[in-house]
Amino acid sequence: MTPSDANDGSLDVTAFSRTIGVFDSGVGGLSVLHHIRATLPDANLIYVADSGHVPYGDKSPAYIEARSLALTRFLVSQGAEAIVIACNTATAAAAHALRVKFSKMPIVAMEPAVKPAVAATRSGVVGVLATVGTLESARFAALLEKYGGKVKIVTQGCPGLVDVVERGDLHSLDARRLIERYTEPLLKQNADTLILGCTHYPFLAPLIREVVGEGIALVDTGAAVARELKRRVDVELPAGTLVGAVGTVTFYTSGEAEQASRIVSVLWGREVQVQQLPPAFA
């Protein structure tokens, strides 16, 4: 395995570092990976963008579960000792199945940030931007039942936003028009807090901010997921680490590797090479 983002060569950290596997329907989970890298700088990270099957939002739960199982098997085959499902839709469709199948390893999943959004709102109205799959899931319905009684929660499915991020069109006119279309009904209902309910959406946060203004709070869960991952691995995967060690980051895609390398390099903030997922898992 050739890492695309390695340590500086001054320390041999292979024997000391934990290996964390992360997957998403595409490149959106990189927003979570940034937080994981900051929280666990010594960990070796393996990221899979399932861009050959993106978006998950219009796929059946059974399809998403099958893809999630295949990607997790690949990550485990590469030495992953813990898994992060960096995708809200895959969390809703497959988190339970993965935890049953891989019961001996930490599996950390996404959850729309309903609780912190409810705490943050001043108007008493929280808007949710998410994929249709997330909004229709039983997991999201349970969150609304748990916290929705305290405030009004209004939801908006966002077809096309994932595709915008997958193309790297973070500042395009097409992206702006979609954001205007999806945020307008939420703002008309007096929402002053917007949950970014898909890991792709934080990459559009600057454009969303331009559209909705400074008075609207934007909430995502990447940092909370990274903190939960650290808590789990510190308890369940105790390992000696070298102080100051920097782990490796390796990227794979089930889509087209050259295109993925271009997009991931932009979103990761440095040039990387994305490898092709082996056919057995693609």
- DSSP-derived secondary structure for 84-131: EE--HHHHHHHHHHHHHHTTTS-EEE----HHHHHHH-SSSEEEEEE-
Residue whose token pair is 């990459």: 203
69: Cβ contacts below 8 Å, ≥ 6 apart: 94, 97, 98, 101
- Asked about 158 being catalytic, the answer comes back as no
Out of 71, 87, 208, 245, which one is annotated catalytic?
87
Residue whose token pair is 């309903």: 114
Rounded Cα distance between 11 and 13, Å, is 6
Q: Which two tokens stand for residue 119?
A: 């705490």
* AA letter at 121: T
- Asked about 198 being catalytic, the answer comes back as yes
* AA letter at 21: G
Out of 198, 249, 263, 267, which one is annotated catalytic?
198
Q: What is the length of the chain? A: 282
Catalytic residue annotation: 87, 198
